[in-house]
Structures are given as structure tokens and as C-alpha cells.
Structure 1
């Protein structure tokens, strides 16, 4: 089993810290951007961690239909303008 899944809390903490640092310039990221956080882990394991964080309400995803991006829940301009007509 991957170290990433063994240390789920540490992995989640690393993702939140990385996203918080990047929040000054971007609020949404492609799944491949998360691969930089865990260069020694396989993409499938990283995606499992990110998707679990979405399930837990830590992250949210945004999809245009052809593109899916992830960010901290409640962050970004997109989030604040949703629901407006």
C-alpha cells in the first residue's frame, strides 16, 4: 500500500498547505498540479486522496464539462459569484 494512503491526514495537510500558498495567484488546479506535491506517488493514489478530500468537504471541484479543476472549498472568485443571475 502507498505511503500516501497510509498517512492520509498528513497528505491532506500537505494539500491544504500547498493550496493555501498558491491561493494568492490561483484558486483552482488540475489534478496533474497535485502530482507536484507527491512526486513519489502514483497519479491514481493522488487522485484518491484529492477525491476523498472533496467527499469530506475540504476541497471542491469545478467542471466545465470537459475540464475538471479542484480548489479549497469556498475559495476563488467563481465560488462567490455562483448563484447570481
Structure 2
């Protein structure tokens, strides 16, 4: 699980310059031999550890590095 967490964090850090939020399916592509449920468990652990956050539009859930992107910047404005 630790290597999977590192893989996800590395992916997010490399891609954050392009965009800050990613669909669940973007992460399943990183682990083609794993079941979606196992990938979801890793993402959930990263959310609990506050390394990753999820964002929901109501119909779609996306994941990104905590505090990254426009949403993250707006949340810290006073």
C-alpha cells in the first residue's frame, strides 16, 4: 500500500502544473492489474492522511493534492 501511495502522490505532483483535479479513472490507469476497490482504498487512506483531498460537483468526484489548484487557493482567502 505504501508504494501505491507514493505512486499516486508522485503522479499528482508531476501533473499539478497541468491541472489540479483528477477523476478516479485516472488513478485506476496507474494500476491496471488492481481492482478499482483497491485503488479506492489507497485514495481514501491518502485523504485521511490529509495528503489528498476530494472535490465533488454533486455528480462527479475528483481528487487532487491538498491545497493545490484554484479551489485550494480560494479556501485560504480571508
Q: Gapped runs of 5+ residues in structure 1? A: 1-7
Question: What residue number does 2:56 align with?
Answer: 63
Q: Structure 2-normalised TM-score?
A: 0.91
CA offsets 1:21-79 (integer angstroms, 9 cap, x no match): 11110100111110111111011110111011101111001111111110011111111
Q: Gapped runs of 5+ residues in structure 2? A: none
- The separation in 2 between residues aligned to 1:80 and 1:66, in whole angstroms, is 23
Instruction: Please show how residues 1-85 of structure 1 align to structure 2 within 5 Å.
Output: 8-82=1-75
Tell me by how many angstroms 1:82 deviates: 2.7
Q: Structure 1-normalised TM-score?
A: 0.84
CA RMSD of aligned residues (A): 1.5
Aligned residue-pair number = 78
Q: Runs (4+) of structure 1 moved beyond 3 Å?
A: none
Task: Give the number of the structure whose alpha-carbon radius of gyration is greater.
Answer: 1
